[in-house]
Structure 1
Amino acid sequence: MNQKKLIIVIALVAVIVLGALAATTIMKPQGQQVTAAGDSATKLAFYNNGTTWLHLDVVMENVTLKNGTVQNFYAQIFLKPHNGTAIIDLSNLAGYGDKKLPAGTKITILASKGLFMPANSPAVGSTANLNLSMQGWSNTREPSADDALYNIFYPHLNISQLPTISGAPITNDTVILKTKDNEVQFTPEITNKQDPLFEHETLSVDKNGKVTITIVQKPTLQIPTSNVYQNGANSNGKITVTKNGKTYIIIIIPVPPLCSIMAHE
């Protein structure tokens, strides 16, 4: 999706939500997990607590690099069932090496996600609970008891077939990071229908390197693009609006069922 498209979430009556869709389809070959290189670096971790494979399509927006420029990063993440883990070294991405990110750093995190299982699994076509945790920290290789764990839970999410990457099966926790959202393509492509859940967070770093993740948009179901209308809107539709040279996509989606996103120490 065009990087100029913006995320907007607008509440509209009791049964409808208007949300701008910023689902990125970053199609990359399978690669190694991105692990934190040093003890002092600022890190962001994703933990899969669920019983199925979990795919995350993550955009990290407005990352200020050490040289002063601002860069977006795009991540494809596949996490194994039962404690699959991915750790991203944010300091290394931003050019700070083993140093924690500077005080006042803020990063926008936009994530679409879905549940998957291998083709031969009887679970494909059924549902399961999405149960993901996020955590950020600095100054130590492993997080401490003071580093908050943010849990994202959504029940009864559809399970799709786990794709291959360039014909190779996905068998391990995998993270691929890119600076452009269209550099390489998956076969087959993961669609909005397969990655139906979206949420939006802001990650901030204080002067001591402590990381806080603020929830901006709770887990929300996305309407597949095949089910929306290009012009006008009704209870299942899409409106496109152009203002000041930027295109805004507003999609009408049903209010999601019981879901939660919480932080605890």
Structure 2
Amino acid sequence: MLRVQRTFSTVVPALSGYYIAGQTGLVPLIMLASTVFFLHISANALNDLGDYESDKRNAPDRVLITGVLTKQQAAVLSVSLMVFGLSLAWMLDWLLFSIAATLGVVLWMSYSFGTRLKDRPVGSFVYLSLSTSTIPFLGGFIVMRNLHTSSAALALFLVVFTSSIMIISLKDIAGDRRANKITIAVKFGERRARELAISLILVPIATYPLLWLVFGFSQIYLLYVTIPILMRLIIAFLLSKNDVNTPRVLVRILIITDFAMLALARPEPGLSWL
């Protein structure tokens, strides 16, 4: 239910942004990582509540479906984790807490309940692309009060790199269609959705140099990106062979790698103004 293994593709971008924004202290970095971690697993628990019907087909081994936890227990767990995560955010920075407790909670709820962004092609695509890594990446800039034109532009630019997260919906087409969830994969059909996923994986390869040319990252970045480029080629190849399970795992590792490489090549003394 908590799917801790998925949190790293959110925690690492948050730490990357914090480090690029100028934070090098170990304790603040740990505090931000803990905040993002608990808020993420809280959202995972809430997501399982929202996906109860589709998970009967897509993931019958999940604890809600097997009856290990009741819906009420899952709701209490989700809220408890959220409150703890927000408490850590408060201790770290009041502005981060304020944003997380208002806009964050609204997005958190609207993804799985109410308007259910996840049931709409554009809503699910935009939400996953932004919330997986881009919004956490900006968290560090918010804490450092270093959010300006360049950092916002960089975060938006990085959506190109994280949009490949839509791969995770490919495996769930049958269950999502049965539950009347119109994700991109359901809307396009498996073949076209897989072709789109391959495009989203490969297109960023041509944009990596822009992070050095436009945003002023260290020239060593051009060497570092050979690793994520190779990963993108492997993921695209696997998708072309109709393997959707392995790419689902690799795409999260890819996001971790992309943001780790950014941190290792962070601009000195800061981002260039556009």
Q: In which range does the TM-score fall when normalised by the shorter chain?
A: under 0.3
More helix by share: 2
TM score, norm. by length of structure 2? 0.26
More strand by share: 1
